[in-house]
A and B are shown apart, each in its own frame.
Chain A
Amino acid sequence: MMSSLFARTVISYLIVFAVPMMLPVAFFKLVGLGGLRELVTYEARDTPLHRLDPRLKVLYPIAMGILSIILNWDYMLIVFGLSVIPWFWLRPSRAKVRVLMVMVIGPALTGFWSQGLYYLPPPPIHFIYQFPWTISWLGSPGITAYGMVFGLQQSARVLVTVSTSMLVLVSTDVGDFTWAFERFRMPPQVGFAMTAALRFLPDMISRTMLVFRAVELRGYDLSRPRWFQVNKWPDYIRRVARCVVLITVPLLIGSLRGTSTMAMVADARGFGANKRRGSLRVHRTTAVDIAGYVVLVVLVVTAIILNHFRIGARPY
């Protein structure tokens, strides 16, 4: 029965489409547009991570990114483990953890799954499940463990960078970013652009949600079909796409109005008046900061040395 062409076709389609279909559902159920606000919202708390030297925090994702590029999979596991530890130190809110899990694991899962389907080893190929001709025309002859492992490695590399960047965003006031950028001799405009983006992105998301509500209140149907109402999903996607066009004008007008006021406020507060800025923050380098710098330097230098001797290096 299970080996019949029909059964194999059904199973194959499920394998191919289960993950891509599951991800949007997980996004809407667990995150939603409103949940996106959590992604970039700074949580003002007093933890050791919040108190770390902002320069160290800016360097942290860069260093971890270098490690994730040059090390092979075995060593990557260690790096990945290291990148998770600070999250326990930070203890983010449950809402943020939920959003982070979906937004980080979702794309990683997609990478893992798609590589399993499309990254093929040299022959002879051992398939976990081989697809019949009724689906192999889509370009994948089946799902392989080789591809999935490769996908897992690639996803883990992405995860390390995303996780470390998120950690820094959540625990660092943007004023600290600006300060760090200035200490790195970068133009203050870079810090200000980042400040404005991180400050107003949650507002923009809120406004988008408000306009989506408004369009529904005016009689536009944005009601989502149940997951099993497969025949209704194309129409729902068409309605959402059309709605995006509808809401663009009020969103743009609202945003443009806001930006002129914001520009005047920045001018009035003297932004750009001097080449150098002062700082309220006094970052006295602590033992923890020094330890952090040492750890980062040791990790990167060790990785480069090991890489030079082809230990733990990627095979290409």
Chain B
Amino acid sequence: MAISTNPDRNPELVAEDISFAYLGASTAALRHASIAVSAGEVVLVTGLSGCGKSTLALALCGLIPSRVQGELRGQVTFGGRPLSGLPPHEASQLVGMVFQNPNLQLINQTVQSEVAFGPENLALPQPEIAARVDWCLDVTGMAAMRMASTITLSGGQKQRTAIAATLAMKPRILVLDEPLSDLDPVGAQEVLGTLRRLAGDEGTGVVIIEHRVDEVAPWADRVVLMDSGRMLLDCPPREAWADPVLWGRIGVGIPDMVRLAHALPDAFPGRLPLSVPEAASQVEETWLVPALAQAAAARVRATAPHPGNGVSPRESAHSPPVLSWQGVSVEFGANRAIDDVTLSIADGDWVAMIGANGSGKSTLTGLTVGLGTPSAGQVFFRGKPIRPGRVFEHAAQVALLLQAADEMLFEETVIGELKFGSKFRALPPNPVLTVDEAIEFFGFQGQEQMSPWELSQGGRQRLALGALLVGAPGVLVLDEPTTGQDAQRMREFLRLLEAVRERTGLTVVTVTHDIRGLASRAARVVLLGAGRVQLDGPASEVFAQTEELERWGVLAPPVARLQRELLGPSLTDVLLSVESLAAVARSYHGLPATQAASAGESVPGSRVGTP
């Protein structure tokens, strides 16, 4: 593929026809990849996990081949000068890299020391070091926290500190490998705001490798799509997403507003919208607004006669709760992480707990297996109190899948993992799945004797989930199960979760930042903020309250925000997917709504089918 560049700009960083295979690997991670980046330009690189994005980042920063062994062909140059052969400290003054996990990048104990570390290593004079530190902290918005200890920072603050520390080397181009993956929407906006300032005001070229395209799309100058080490597309965003078929075939996500425009071309006659405000301004005078208003009114009419509907599920639930928190508070020193929470979850429910980082979601769900001790109140499982610290006991009732599923694997083989629990306690008479059923259900046939570490990351997550279900838990609690995953893997996980629910009828509680995917599909959403339940209701009602959600650091799905922008604050119930909006459009035009809703197809006259 030919190198795509912005004609108005002179590219500084150029990778030309590079291929790379890791030492000992049978296949190449990069195949004839070419890219050029200019000063002040923002390039979004996306693709499935394992498609070579991170390898490309390492190559662009000159860490390949100097620090990552393998065979490199082709050349990376900066201003015409080969970058590949430079020592890392010289290359990093031209192209800086921010790795995915900020915890592993913060070597020092305070923010200021971290930022000063690079310039100190370069033996710069003290005034120059001080000037760089001040500038980096200002531009990343961390000046007020310069003396803070790095281990006390939030995810967003850690990532901004890592960016500041990389900027202190004064690179002309900044490459960021999934900088938003662990961040809540607020943290993500903090980081994106910083990058916007850098590109716009300081003229720094920015390459962002990211799955969360919705958030980056509005201000990317170019979008690069990668698959199996190759670059399939490298063009401006609207051009890149003009034909979503390719994206759908590979399984890479595209922004919701783009999908909507493709599904409803009559409503979006102009250029492709990349953000909610853009989409709203395009459709505010079209038939879509009365169509949405009509559908909303119909939903209100349909729900009004039933007194239970629209009321918080905690009030309307008739079945006895499987889990309940009664006036629970949890304190860590002077900090009250959970503040007088009363909540109950009925048998068979699917509940999503959402909230900003530090809002208390994981603390609250951890209590259900005895992790942590309430300073007040009590947690119950089927009416029986959960005793703090008795994790072994309660794990038999509540299966908790940690975000770091890899940390939950201890055996040498897949079959060993599935049998792990039965080694230490008697097999329950009525397991959710037997070992054989789990092998079949999770697709491990023929892999029984494989090491768990030979499985893909998704495979290891499935294995950890399967191992938990080879028991008799009444509830499945999932802590951020889709964090850092690409669109395809998210979809696979959602399908798997649906299948587990269908097969087992388990109550599912998910702690998640994945508002578009996981939270939108849950029957009930609980918003936590400042350790309290701020909103609790059906997903369609909770996500209609966009201002309240934003107040607590959560962004509603783009589709929901669009409806609120178009129909105003009186809207109390929103549609949560592009498919349901397309169905409304079908219905408005007198076509059967179910087709679009079920198959995600577009209405007649659409540009192309949605991916």
Contact = CB atoms under 8 A, between A and B. Distances in A.
Contact of B402 (A210, A220, A271): A210
Contact of B407 (A174, A219, A250, A279): A250
B391 A222 contact: yes
Contacts of A247: 410
Given A44-B149, A268-B97, A270-B89, A249 B67 contact: no
Contact of B67 (A196, A202, A217, A264): A264
Interface in B411-453: 420-422, 424-425, 453
B395 A268 contact: no
A261 to B, nearest CB: 4
A41 interface: yes
Contacts of A280: 112-113, 116, 119-120, 126, 129-130, 133
Interface stretch (B100-108, B187-195, B227-235, B284-292): B100-108
A221 B389 CA distance: 11
Contact of A210 (B147, B390, B407, B422): B407
Contact of A219 (B97, B112, B150, B421): B421
A173 B151 contact: no
Contact of B116 (A175, A213, A249, A265): A175
A111 to B, nearest CB: 32
B364 to A, nearest CB: 16
Contacts of B92: 268-270
B109 A268 contact: no
Contacts of B283: none
Of A223, A270, A274, chain B has the most CB atoms within 10 Å of the CB of A270
Contacts of B122: 270, 273-274, 278
A272 B87 CA distance: 11
B409 interface: yes
A265 B410 contact: no
Interface in A185-221: 195-196, 198-199, 202-203, 207, 210-211, 213-221
B109 A42 contact: yes
Of B66, B103, B165, chain A has the most CB atoms within 10 Å of the CB of B103
B23 interface: no
B109 A267 contact: no
Contact of A262 (B66, B107, B133): B107
B123 A277 contact: yes
Contacts of A11: none
A196 B107 contact: yes
Interface string B99-143: 101011111111011001111111111101110010000000000
A203 B148 contact: no
Contacts of A276: 123
B120 A277 contact: yes
Contact of A270 (B105, B121, B333, B371): B121
Contacts of A250: 406-407, 409-410
A282 B97 CA distance: 29
A254 interface: yes
A202 to B, nearest CB: 6
A278 B129 contact: yes
A223 B124 contact: no
A241 interface: no
Nearest to A276: B123
A279 B399 CA distance: 51
A26 interface: no
A149 B114 CA distance: 47
A266 interface: yes
B402 A195 contact: no
A269 B108 contact: no
Contacts of A263: 67
Contact of A195 (B108, B124, B151, B421): B108
Contacts of B128: 278
B338 interface: no
Given A268-B89, A269-B92, A269-B169, A215 B109 contact: no
Nearest to B387: A223
A258 B391 contact: no
Nearest to A95: B333
Interface string A109-144: 000000000000000000000000000000000000
A219 B124 contact: no
Nearest to B124: A278
B109 A221 contact: no
A175 B109 contact: yes
Nearest to A251: B407
B467 interface: yes
Contact of B126 (A214, A258, A278): A278
A175 B393 contact: no
Interface string A226-248: 00000000000000000000110
Contacts of B393: 223
B179 interface: no
A199 B107 contact: yes
A12 B142 CA distance: 61
A178 B43 CA distance: 38
B450 to A, nearest CB: 15
Given A214-B407, A219-B424, A268-B88, A44 B148 contact: yes
Contacts of A249: 410
A270 to B, nearest CB: 3
A195 to B, nearest CB: 6
B468 interface: yes
Contacts of A267: 63, 66-67, 88-89
A215 B468 CA distance: 11
Contacts of B421: 218-219
B40 to A, nearest CB: 22
A136 B430 CA distance: 56
Given A217-B408, A277-B120, A261 B105 contact: yes
B525 to A, nearest CB: 25
Given A218-B468, A274-B121, A202 B151 contact: yes
Contact of A218 (B117, B119, B147, B408): B408
A282 B399 CA distance: 54
Of A211, A220, A268, A269, chain B has the most CB atoms within 10 Å of the CB of A268
A279 B118 contact: no
B106 A199 contact: yes
B367 interface: no
A256 to B, nearest CB: 12
B369 interface: yes
A27 to B, nearest CB: 16
Contacts of B133: 280
A253 B63 contact: no
Nearest to B88: A267
B464 to A, nearest CB: 8
Contacts of A210: 402, 404, 407
Interface in B192-218: none
Given A175-B109, A250-B410, A264 B88 contact: yes
A285 to B, nearest CB: 16
A43 B124 CA distance: 28
Given A42-B110, A44-B109, A273-B87, 12 more contacts: A175-B109, A210-B404, A254-B407, A264-B99, A265-B105, A268-B89, A269-B92, A270-B121, A273-B122, A279-B116, A279-B126, A280-B112
The 6 A-B residue pairs whose C-beta atoms are closest, nearest first, are: A270-B89, A219-B421, A270-B121, A175-B113, A280-B116, A269-B118
Interface of B: 61, 63, 66-68, 87-89, 91-92, 96-97, 99, 101, 103-110, 112-113, 116-126, 128-130, 133, 147-151, 165-166, 169, 333, 369, 371, 389-393, 395-396, 399-400, 402, 404, 406-410, 420-422, 424-425, 453, 467-468, 471
22 contacts: A44-B149, A199-B107, A211-B407, A213-B371, A214-B402, A214-B407, A216-B391, A217-B369, A221-B424, A246-B410, A262-B105, A264-B68, A264-B99, A265-B107, A268-B91, A268-B92, A271-B121, A276-B123, A278-B123, A279-B116, A280-B126, A280-B133
